[in-house]
Chain A
């Protein structure tokens, strides 16, 4: 019996050791013939084929950029939730699905867990993902397939322009990217000049609520940057968390003069009105409440600047627009 035991232990050690060696020394991938080297938003150096024909876009914000650069025909797959949880409709609004002509066959499940076979089946030549995606499994499968993965996750509003330029370089549409960036820069400049002379109102921009209170944007978030650029100060500007939930008591104490709520994905004014103590807030009683498409304030993409920013300016400074 001891021989068998020793043999089993030895086989186990051999298999584990060999596998660990291969895990630590993966086979090198061949470089595509027509390719360029780029650095993505995570600082990863990636070699990508020039003008890849089939791309999987695993984030709505990247899809917005790709669409605005005229690259929709390259897109063969987009991110989605498990079909049991709503598929495309969980990540994309009905407007986005219609505008971008997204179909269930393009669905690559990234949540609750990645479905690698959905990605494999689309035979993409490039995968674009953001850090909200399960990057580990995606990186693993793209490495196995020898398909480059580019991670786009701007850290600031100006980072959106940088990503546009990067996509323009990859797809050879630099002039389209430059034109889009000029439009974005003009909107940012316009916003700065519009609001620079206005007094900064104290505001609450909430994107969701529950029985405990209202979720909003804290420091170092796109939402907070957008609010500031639109000429207002968030009542959560000094919060210790990036996406804090404010209780009704905190909101009553801060007494924001304007409340903006995010709608879409099942949320609308009546769902917020059903939230705790909504009717007690001064802004609600004064009628200074308005809605905004949630995607415009949560997804870091050109639409955030071209649609979200002007809408917030109009909400915060009704007389200036």
Chain B
């Protein structure tokens, strides 16, 4: 069965690998420039020399600050800032943005609901509770980049399994699953409020963790995130064809040899695990997973074989863009990135929503 066709001329022009490739090139360009953006000024020339020096393993620009007037001690600090702080942060933004975009695209496909996002099933509430327990009870202070993601991931994944278990897995309807997720998310929210009420120490950190940040970035964290998202994301993208068939209804999918319930369960599990990884490393970053698939559908149509990888790329660019806007708007402050994805995402989402309704009232249903 042929997948649904792209609805617009722009989509036809950019559909397929060319569009995806264009977005990827834009991403690489943005990556290079973003690696020099932060709230500690790095001269552009010195920054690029440091990047080339480190990327070449020291073969290029043996002293990246030579002739620039930057002292050796300050050069060492700048090298650390660019190579150990900014670049890992940029990469984490790309990976987490990709994870959220991919997860959002998959869940919108499986629920056939354009309002679905990676946090729809409430697994972020479990991740938040896990992080809050760590912050409030000061667990693993010396190993924060291990314990924080571990607690958040376990909280998120345990919540996902609990929701699936309570909703009795594949034997439940989509509505039951969603309502179970909402109910358990509310319950965990109440537990979180209780924990913070009686243990206000750490409350501020939890609040800001809830708004998302990239502060945990490092080469090791990036490695784990890239590896896991690459593994699970690759498998999830393979469900694109099945998701296309699911859009035509469970009966049609079934008659084409697709076990709708099994596909739903697998996609939800994979998307939940990818989201859990994102939550574990950066907290709850809203709107990326909701907006990215909409953007991709407008560009390349609604073929999920393209929408899924496209959502990953747009999500990556979106989160990186939000990070950069943060530093451009507030050069001497680091604010939670979730604030900027909301500032960025909400107007854009509303624009898409109303434009879509005006042009094609039934699209996206």
Contact = CB atoms under 8 A, between A and B. Distances in A.
Interface residues of B, number: 56
B250 interface: no
B330 interface: yes
A134 B201 CA distance: 11
A15 B73 CA distance: 33
A131 B222 contact: no
B218 A144 contact: yes
B27 to A, nearest CB: 18
B246 interface: no
A9 to B, nearest CB: 5
B240 to A, nearest CB: 12
Given A8-B234, A117-B39, A24 B146 contact: yes
A5 B231 contact: no
B144 A144 contact: no
Contacts of B197: 241
Q: Interface majority SS on B: helix, strand, loop or mixed?
A: helix
Chain A contact patch, size range: 35 or more
B230 A22 contact: no
B84 interface: yes
B226 interface: yes
Contacts of B230: 8-9, 11-12, 15
Interface stretch (A78-86, A204-212, A279-287): A78-86
B142 A139 contact: yes
Task: Name the residue among A12, A83, A85 with the largest chain B CB count within 10 angstroms.
Answer: A12
A190 interface: no
Contact of A243 (B200, B213, B218, B222): B200
Task: Name the residue among A19, A22, A144 with the largest chain B CB count within 10 angstroms.
Answer: A19
A96 B70 CA distance: 33
Contacts of B141: 42, 44, 135-136, 139, 151
A310 B42 CA distance: 49
A14 B230 CA distance: 11
A17 B228 CA distance: 9
A36 interface: no
Interface in B229-244: 229-232, 234-235, 238
Nearest to B73: A123
B333 A12 contact: no
Contacts of B73: 123
B231 A9 contact: yes
A112 B336 contact: yes
Interface in A116-144: 116-118, 120-121, 123, 131-132, 134-137, 139-140, 143-144
Contacts of B224: 15-16, 19-20, 23
A11 B223 CA distance: 11
A12 B226 contact: yes
Given A82-B330, A113-B208, A44 B142 contact: yes
B4 to A, nearest CB: 22
Interface string A1-32: 00001001101111111111011100000000
Given A8-B234, A13-B231, A111-B204, A121 B223 contact: no
A9 B223 contact: no
Task: Name the residue among B81, B213, B231, B330 with the largest chain A CB count within 10 angstroms.
Answer: B231
Contacts of A144: 80, 84, 218
Given A20-B224, A83-B330, A84-B330, A139 B144 contact: yes
The 8 A-B pairs of least Cβ separation, nearest first, read: A16-B227, A19-B223, A136-B144, A12-B230, A12-B231, A82-B333, A15-B227, A117-B40
Interface of B: 38-40, 73-74, 76-77, 80-81, 84-86, 138, 140-148, 197-198, 200-201, 204-205, 208, 211, 213, 215-216, 218-224, 226-232, 234-235, 238, 330, 332-336
8 contacts: A9-B231, A12-B226, A83-B332, A109-B39, A112-B208, A117-B85, A134-B215, A136-B141
